[in-house]
Amino acid sequence: MFLSAPKIVTWFVSTLLVLATIAVKYLGIAIPEIGALVSGNLFEVLLAAYAILWAGNVLRGF
């Protein structure tokens, strides 16, 4: 298995999901568009962010 660096868009989406989760959990910030999704499913959102980043490293062109 060859690992490659993820594309910038993949890294950016993953980072935004993690930052949104941290903002909702620890800072109590309400995010209008994705706040309802993130606030009830913190673990799942972090898992999705990790899965996106993992796919960017393992799959070519992702």
Give pLDDT tens digits for 5-29: 889 999 999 999 899 888 888 888 8
Range of the domain at 45: 8-58
List of residues 6+ apart from 15 with CB closer than 8 A: 49
Number of domains in the chain: 1
Residue 1 lies in a domain: no
Above 80 in pLDDT, residue 37? no
**Residue 2 domain flag:** no
Contacts of 18 (CB under 8 A, 6+ apart): 46, 49
pLDDT, tens digit, 9 for 90 and up, residues 39-51? 788 889 899 999 9
**Is 80 exceeded by the pLDDT of residue 38?**
no
Q: Is residue 18 part of a domain?
A: yes
